[in-house]
C-alpha cells in the first residue's frame, strides 16, 4: 500500500513521505525529515518541559529510540529565560539534545497557569508571575521566542478556549486563531530551519472545525496541529472532532494532535502527552495489558519484571518487588519507570507503524484493545471511534 | 564455598607525621566470580534502599563504574520496610537492587545520618531509624537479615547511644551490651560473611579507661572472628528528640526541638524523661540543612559544606586506631569531605564511604578537582581536553572558582547562570563531556530530577579520582613509588594534596 512519493514542497525544513496507508482506517505511516533528523510517524513525543526529560540523560533518550521531543516555551521563557538560551546558541545546544525539538507557543500554559490571563485581539495579557507587572504575549512575541529557542517545529499562538466552553466565544476564538496565524507567519524569521504549524480550533462544533481547517489550509504551511482537545471534553466528542479535522486536512502533510497520546486510527501522525512520564513518577508502569500500579501491596514479593517481553534496562535488571520497595522513596524509582514507560510508548508506536506497513493494522488494534480489556468491556467511545473508521472490536 | 576476604598491607608510611597505609582488600562479589582486589585507602559506595542514589544500574555501570566494582555500603535502616521481600527473593540484596556485580558491606545505620534519637536502645535490641520510624533489632533478627541480604561483609550491632555528656552508667551499659552483641554474633552463623566489629568513639569521650578495656576485650576474645573494625560515631549526635505521632517518626532535621511536650500535639517523649535533657548544640544545628523536608523525617543531614571547619575528632580517632591491630582494615563511616578523608588516611584509616557525595548531589555541591589533577595527573587515568561544548562563551575560562571555595563549588550560585564551561575542565565523565555549568544551574533552579543525576555521576567519578590520588601520594610517602621523574619530596606532595583539597 505504498502511497508513492507525494511530498510537501512548501517547506525547505520539512519533507513528509507517506510510506503506507491502512486500507480500512485513516492510519498511515510516514517519514518526516526535519533539520535535526528523520522521524518515523506515527510518533510519540515525550515532553521535556523545562529543557530536560524528568531525570533521563539525553543519551538514554537516544538509546530508547526517541527522535523528537517537546519543550515548553512558557516555562523556558521564565527559567532560564530567552536571553540565556540565545547566549547558549539555542535550546538544542543548551540541553545538548541533537535530535529534533518541537516547541509550543506558550499560550496554553499561560491561560491554564496564570491568573488574570485576558485574551485581547493584540494577544494574551497576563500578570508576570515574578513581579506582578502586566505583560502581553502577542503572536509576534511568541514566534520571536520560538525563533530564539530554535526548535525544528514551532507552533502558532492560538486563541485557546477550553473544550467545555460553548457559545459565541468558541467562534470568536476560531476566527482570531486564523488572524493570529497570519501574524505568526509574518513574524517568522526562520522558515528555512523551523516549521511553523497552525492549530485547528473550533471547540466541539463540527462546522467551526471545518471552517477553521479550510482557512488554515490556504496558508500552505508544512504541517498542521489539532488543538483544543486535551481538556475536559467527553471522549465521545473528542474523537469526532479529530475525525472531522483529519478528513479535511491534506493527506500529504503531517498532523499533530496536541496533548493527546493516542488516536492513530483517526489519521494523526504526531502525539505528545505527559501521562507516561508523569504516571511513572507516581509509581505506575504501562504495559500492553494495562497499567500496573507498583505501589500496590500485591507486588511486594513479585519477583518478575514489569513486562518480561520489554527490552528496557528496567525490565532486564529489576523486579516489580524492588520497584515496589523503593517507589516514592527513592528518585531512582521514577527513573526506572520513566525509562520503561517511554520504552513502552516507543514499542507501541513501532508496532503500529509495522502493522500499517504490513496491512495488519486492523488486527493490531483489535488485539491491542483486547489485551487491555480481556473481558471485552471496551469503553463506548473507543468502540464508536473505531467503528467510524471501520474497525469492529473482538 | 568459603568466600575470601583478605586484607593485605602493602606498606606503612615511613614518615613520622603520618600513619597512613596502603593495602589490598580481596573481596568476592555475590556472583561468585573471581575475587576483586580493592586497593586501599578506598571508599564504599553509599546506597539508599540498596541503590546508589539517583543512579539506575545501567547509568552506574555505563558512566561511573564501567570496570571497577567497589563494595556497596547498604544500610539496614533504609531497607527495613522490605527485609522480608529480600529474604523471600533468596538471592541477596545486591541482586535485588539490580547490582549483582558488586560486593556488599551491610551496616545497621545509614552513615549519612547525623542525628539519632537517644534513649531507645533497650532490652536486647538496638534501635534503627528508617522511613517508618523505629525498628528494634536484636542479634537474632540481625542475623536473619544478614542471611537474607547475603553481604560479603557486615557490621556488628553496637549501642551507639553515647556522647560526651553521657553518664558512667550509660557508658557501662553501652560497652557491656556492645560486647554482648559481638559475642552473640560471633557464636552464631555469619553465613560466610566477614564480620567487622564496631568500636564507639563516644566511649573514649566519657571514660577512656573503660573504653580501652572494652576494645582490649574484643581483641583478646574475638580477634579470630573479626576481619576489620568500624570506628563509629564520628559526626553523630545522639540527642533526645521528640517523636511525632504514634509512628515514632523523628521530627525533621532543622526544626527547632521543643523541650516542653505541651507545645506540640501528639508527641511522645523518650523513656528517659527524668534525665537532664540536652538541647541540640547550636553549632551542630548550624551545620544542618535548615529546610525541613516534609515526609523525609528520617532523611540524612545534608551539610557537605567543605568550607565549614571540620568537627572531626582527630584525637579520639587516633586513640582508637592506636589500640587496633595493624593487619586489619579500619573503616570510619560518615559524610566526610575530601579533606577530612585525607586527614583520616594520615591517621591510619583505610575505608570510608561516599555518603558525602550523596548529600552533595542533593545540595548541588560539585567536586572540582582541577587543581588536584593538575599536580597529580598520575592519580587520574585519562587526561582529556574537553572539546568546546556547545554554548556561548566557551572560549573563556569560565568562572574560575575552585580556588575561591576549596575543592567544591555550589552550582546553584547565580554566577554560573551563563557559564558555558563544563563543571571541571579536567574531568572526562559524562556530565563534563556533555553539559555545562549553565545547564546544571538551570536544572537545580528548576528542581529537575536530572540535576542530581548529573552531579552524582560527576561527584562519584571525582571522588574516585581523589581516592586514587590519595593512594598515589601515600605510596610516595611510603617510599614505594618508583617514579624517577618526580622531583618533589613526599612531604611536598602531601602538602600540595592538602592544599588542593583544603576548604577555605
Does residue B152 contact residue B100 with C-beta atoms inside 8 Å?
Answer: no
Q: How far is A303 from chain B (nearest CA, A)?
A: 7
Is A159 annotated in the active site? no
Burial of B141 from C-beta contacts in 10 A (0-12 / 13-18 / 19+): middle
Q: Do A321 and B96 touch (CB under 8 A)?
A: yes
For residue A80, whether the previous peptide bond is cis, meaning omega lies within 30 degrees of 0, is yes
Give me the residues of B, 125-184, that contact A with CB < 8 A.
131
Gap between the Cα atoms of B341 and B375, Å rounded = 19
C-alpha pair distances (Å), A162 with each of A108, A169, A233: 10, 10, 9
* pLDDT over threshold 70, residue B313: yes
Gap between the Cα atoms of A197 and B152, Å rounded = 60
Q: How far is B491 from chain A (nearest CA, A)?
A: 42
- The confidence band for B58, taking pLDDT boundaries of 50, 70 and 90, is very high
- The confidence band for A116, taking pLDDT boundaries of 50, 70 and 90, is low
Q: Domain B5-242+306-363 has what CATH class?
A: alpha beta
Which residue from B minimizes the CA distance to A48? B448
Gap between the Cα atoms of B393 and A348, Å rounded = 42
Of A51, A75, A89, the CB nearest to B392: A89
* pLDDT over threshold 80, residue B203: yes
| Grid cell listed for A45 | 513525543
pLDDT of residue B257: 33
**Better-predicted residue by pLDDT, A379 or B424:** B424
Interface residue B61 vs chain A (CB under 8 A): no
Gap between the Cα atoms of A28 and B209, Å rounded = 84
CA angle A82, A85, A91 (to 5 degrees): 115
- Parallel, antiparallel or unpaired: strands A43-45 and A270-272: parallel
* pLDDT over threshold 90, residue A157: yes
B432 annotated as a binding-site residue: yes
pLDDT of residue B172: 94
Catalytically annotated residue among A158, A159, A265, A272: A272
Q: Do A50 and B446 touch (CB under 8 A)?
A: yes
- The confidence band for B33, taking pLDDT boundaries of 50, 70 and 90, is low
Closest CA to A31 of A21, A22, A18: A18
B407 annotated as a binding-site residue: no
Q: Do A87 and B418 touch (CB under 8 A)?
A: yes
Q: What element of type H or E holds B75?
A: strand B72-75
Chosen from B53, B55, B59 to mutate, greatest number of chain A CBs within 10 A: B59
Most confident among B287-291, B300-304, B344-348, B498-502 (mean pLDDT): B344-348
Neighboring chain B residues of A51 at a CB cutoff of 8 Å: 439, 442
Q: Taking residues B284-298, report their average pLDDT.
A: 32
- Parallel, antiparallel or unpaired: strands A118-119 and A124-127: antiparallel
C-alpha pair distances (Å), B397 with each of A122, A189, B388, B422, B499: 44, 33, 11, 10, 22
Q: What's the whole-number average pLDDT of chain B?
A: 80
Q: Taking residues A125-153, report their average pLDDT.
A: 87
| CA B141 to the chain's CA centroid | 24
Could you count the other beta carbons within 10 Å of the beta carbon of residue A112? Answer: 12
Per this entry, what is the length of chain B? 504
Does residue A197 contact residue A155 with C-beta atoms inside 8 Å?
Answer: yes
Q: Taking residues B349-365, report their average pLDDT.
A: 96
Give me the residues of B, 370-389, that contact A with CB < 8 A.
389
Neighboring chain B residues of A318 at a CB cutoff of 8 Å: 57, 98
Q: Where are the domains of chain B?
A: 5-242+306-363, 365-501
pLDDT of residue A245: 86
Q: Taking residues B293-313, report their average pLDDT.
A: 47
Q: What element of type H or E holds B187?
A: helix B168-187
pLDDT of residue B380: 44
- DSSP classification of residue A319: -
Give me the residues of B, 388-417, that contact A with CB < 8 A.
389-393, 417
B427 annotated as a binding-site residue: yes
Of A318, A334, A339, the CB nearest to B449: A334
- The string of pLDDT tens digits covering residues A204-214 is 889 999 999 99
* pLDDT over threshold 80, residue B391: no
Gap between the Cα atoms of B479 and B342, Å rounded = 18
Interface residue B49 vs chain A (CB under 8 A): yes
Q: Taking residues A33-55, report their average pLDDT.
A: 91
Interface residue B83 vs chain A (CB under 8 A): no
Gap between the Cα atoms of A334 and A277, Å rounded = 9
Task: Write down the pTM of the prediction.
Answer: 0.87
Q: Among A54-68, A109-123, A374-388, B41-55, which is the least confidently predicted range?
A: A109-123
Q: Taking residues B216-230, report their average pLDDT.
A: 91
Is A272 annotated in the active site? yes
Report DSSP letters for A228-242, one per residue. Answer: S-SSS--HHHHHHHH
- The confidence band for A232, taking pLDDT boundaries of 50, 70 and 90, is low
Amino acid at each position: 500500500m505504498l502511497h508513492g512519493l507525494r511530498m510537501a514542497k512548501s517547506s525547505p525544513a520539512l519533507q513528509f513521505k507517506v510510506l503506507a496507508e491502512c486500507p480500512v482506517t485513516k492510519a498511515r505511516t510516514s517519514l518526516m525529515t526535519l533539520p535535526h533528523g528523520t522521524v518515523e510517524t506515527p510518533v510519540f513525543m515525550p515532553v521535556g518541559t523545562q529543557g530536560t526529560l524528568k531525570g533521563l540523560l539525553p543519551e538514554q533518550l537516544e538509546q530508547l529510540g526517541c527522535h523528537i521531543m517537546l519543550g515548553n516555551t512558557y516555562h523556558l521563557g521564565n527559567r532560564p529565560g530567552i536571553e540565556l538560551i540565545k547566549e547558549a546558541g539555542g535550546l538544542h545546544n543548551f540541553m545538548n539534545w541533537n535530535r529534533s525539538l518541537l516547541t509550543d507557543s506558550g499560550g496554553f500554559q499561560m491561560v491554564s497557569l496564570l491568573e488574570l490571563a485576558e485574551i485581547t485581539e493584540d494577544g494574551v495579557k497576563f500578570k508576570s508571575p515574578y513581579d506582578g507587572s502586566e505583560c502581553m504575549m502577542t503572536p509576534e512575541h511568541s514566534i520571536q521566542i520560538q525563533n530564539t529557542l530554535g526548535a525544528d517545529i514551532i507552533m502558532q499562538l492560538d486563541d485557546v478556549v477550553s473544550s467545555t466552553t460553548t457559545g459565541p466565544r468558541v467562534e470568536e476564538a476560531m476566527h482570531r486563531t486564523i488572524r493570529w496565524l497570519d501574524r505568526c507567519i509574518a513574524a517568522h524569521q526562520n522558515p528555512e530551519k523551523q516549521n511553523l504549524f497552525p492549530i485547528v480550533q473550533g471547540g466541539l462544533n463540527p462546522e467551526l472545525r471545518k471552517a477553521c481547517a479550510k482557512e488554515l489550509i490556504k496558508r500552505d504551511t508544512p504541517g498542521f496541529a489539532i488543538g483544543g482537545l486535551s481538556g475536559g471534553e467527553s471522549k465521545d466528542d473528542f474523537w469526532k472532532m479529530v475525525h472531522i479535522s483529519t478528513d479535511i486536512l491534506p493527506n500529504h502533510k503531517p498532523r499533530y494532535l496536541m496533548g493527546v497520546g493516542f488516536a492513530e486510527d483517526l489519521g494523526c501522525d504526531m502525539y505528545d502527552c505527559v501521562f507516561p512520564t508523569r504516571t511513572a513518577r507516581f509509581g505506575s508502569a504501562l504495559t500492553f495489558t494495562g497499567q500496573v500500579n507498583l505501589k500496590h501491596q500485591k507486588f511486594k514479593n513479585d519477583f518478575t519484571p514489569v513486562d518480561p517481553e520489554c527490552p528496557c534496562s528496567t525490565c532486564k535488571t529489576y523486579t516489580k518487588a524492588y520497584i515496589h520497595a523503593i517507589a516514592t522513596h527513592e528518585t531512582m524509582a521514577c527513573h526506572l519507570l520513566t525509562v520503561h514507560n517511554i520504552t513502552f510508548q516507543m514499542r507501541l508506536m513501532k508496532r503500529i507503524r509495522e502493522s500499517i506497513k504490513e496491512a495488519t493494522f486492523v488486527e493490531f488494534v483489535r488485539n491491542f484493545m483486547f489485551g487491555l480489556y480481556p473481558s471485552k468491556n471496551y469503553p463506548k467511545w473507543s468502540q464508536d471511534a473505531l467503528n467510524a473508521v471501520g474497525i469492529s472490536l473482538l | 564455598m568459603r568466600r575470601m576476604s583478605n586484607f593485605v598491607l602493602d606498606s606503612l608510611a615511613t614518615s613520622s607525621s603520618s600513619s597512613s597505609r596502603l593495602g589490598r582488600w580481596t573481596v568476592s562479589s555475590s556472583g561468585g566470580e573471581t575475587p576483586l582486589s580493592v586497593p586501599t585507602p578506598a571508599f564504599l559506595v553509599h546506597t539508599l534502599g540498596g541503590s546508589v542514589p539517583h543512579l539506575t544500574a545501567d547509568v552506574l555501570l555505563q558512566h561511573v563504574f564501567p570496570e571497577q566494582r567497589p563494595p556497596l555500603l547498604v544500610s539496614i535502616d533504609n531497607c527495613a520496610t522490605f527485609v522480608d521481600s529480600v529474604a523471600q527473593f533468596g538471592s541477596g540484596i545486591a541482586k535485588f537492587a539490580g547490582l549483582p556485580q558488586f560486593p556488599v558491606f551491610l551496616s545497621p545505620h545509614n552513615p549519612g545520618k547525623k542525628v539519632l534519637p537517644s534513649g531507645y536502645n533497650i532490652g536486647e535490641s538496638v534501635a534503627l531509624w528508617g522511613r517508618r520510624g523505629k525498628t528494634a533489632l536484636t542479634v537474632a533478627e540481625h542475623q536473619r537479615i544478614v542471611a537474607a541480604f547475603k553481604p560479603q561483609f557486615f557490621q556488628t550491632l553496637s549501642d551507639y547511644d553515647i556522647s560526651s555528656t553521657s553518664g558512667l552508667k550509660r557508658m557501662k551499659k553501652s560497652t557491656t551490651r556492645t560486647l554482648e552483641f559481638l559475642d552473640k554474633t560471633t557464636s552464631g552463623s555469619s553465613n560466610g560473611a566477614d564480620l567487622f566489629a564496631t568500636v564507639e568513639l563516644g566511649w573514649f569521650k566519657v571514660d577512656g579507661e573503660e573504653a580501652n578495656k572494652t576494645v582490649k576485650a574484643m581483641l583478646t576474645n574475638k580477634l579470630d572472628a573479626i576481619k576489620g573494625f568500624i570506628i563509629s560515631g564520628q559526626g553523630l549526635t545522639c540527642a533526645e528528640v521528640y517523636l511525632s505521632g504514634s509512628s515514632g517518626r523523628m521530627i525533621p532535621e532543622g526544626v527547632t526541638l521543643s523541650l516542653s511536650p505541651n507545645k506540640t500535639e501528639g508527641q511522645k517523649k523518650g523513656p528517659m524523661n527524668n534525665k537532664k535533657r540536652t538541647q541540640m548544640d547550636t553549632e551542630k544545628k548550624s551545620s544542618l540543612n535548615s529546610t525541613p523536608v516534609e515526609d523525609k523525617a528520617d532523611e540524612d543531614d545534608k551539610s557537605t559544606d567543605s568550607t565549614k571547619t571540620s568537627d572531626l575528632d582527630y584525637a579520639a580517632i587516633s586513640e582508637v586506631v592506636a589500640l587496633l591491630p595493624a593487619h586489619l582494615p579500619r573503616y570510619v563511616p560518615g559524610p566526610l569531605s575530601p579533606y577530612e578523608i585525607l586527614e583520616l588516611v594520615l591517621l591510619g584509616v583505610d575505608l570510608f564511604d561516599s555518603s558525602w557525595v550523596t548529600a552533595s548531589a542533593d545540595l548541588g555541591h560539585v567536586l572540582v578537582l582541577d587543581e588536584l589533577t593538575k599536580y597529580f595527573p598520575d592519580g587520574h587515568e585519562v587526561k582529556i581536553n574537553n572539546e568546546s561544548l556547545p554554548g556561548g562563551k566557551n572560549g573563556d575560562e569560565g568562572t574560575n572558582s575552585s580556588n575561591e571555595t576549596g575543592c567544591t563549588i555550589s552550582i546553584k550560585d547565580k554566577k554560573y547562570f551563563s557559564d558555558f564551561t563544563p563543571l571541571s575542565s579536567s574531568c572526562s565523565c559524562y556530565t563534563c563531556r556533555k553539559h555545562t555549568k549553565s545547564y546544571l544551574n538551570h536544572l537545580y533552579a528548576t528542581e529537575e530530577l536530572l540535576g542530581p543525576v548529573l552531579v552524582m555521576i560527576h561527584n562519584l567519578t571525582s571522588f574516585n579520582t581523589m581516592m586514587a590520588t590519595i593512594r598515589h601520594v601515600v605510596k610516595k610517602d611510603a617510599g614505594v613509588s618508583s617514579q624517577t621523574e618526580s622531583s618533589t619530596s613526599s612531604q611536598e606532595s602531601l602538602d600540595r594534596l592538602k592544599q588542593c583539597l583544603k576548604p577555605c
